[in-house]
Amino acid sequence: MNGQEMLNYKNWAVVGDVLNPSKFAHKIKNRLIDAGYNVFLINPRDKSGEVFLSLKDIKEQIDVIDLCINPNTGMKIIEEAHELGINKVLIQPGAGSEEIKSFCKEKGITYLESCVLVELSKKGI
């Protein structure tokens, strides 16, 4: 599956520092929302109450995870995704690791190392 195919799915979870305007997770969530996607925000370290702390807290079906967080925390998110049956992840530059990729391969999670901002631009969004 390539990035353009992932963009066919409408329910995205963006994982990272989504409330910080200087971070890519914030820019990504804004672009996805502006493009008409349903976006759920996750930051396991955020205590503001404005975002979800984990995938398990989201009641809606998540189609794709956009991983914009350090690989150690990202691995925990991917394990949780597997438990919940979420099987597509876009791994932003710097968010991936061999451990994450190996886990995805082993568990049948489709992953793509790319940038959703680039993928949206390719689609003309």
For CA atoms 51, 56, 59, 62, give the dihedral sign.
positive
pLDDT in tens, the chain (125 residues): 998 999 999 999 999 999 999 999 999 999 999 999 999 999 999 988 899 999 999 999 999 999 999 999 999 999 999 999 999 999 999 999 999 999 999 999 999 999 999 999 998 87
pTM metric for this prediction: 0.94
Q: Residue type for 115, please?
A: C
Length of the chain: 125
pLDDT of residue 47: 87
Domain spanning 3-122, CATH architecture: 3-Layer(aba) Sandwich (3.40)
Q: Residue 42: helix, strand or coil by DSSP?
A: strand
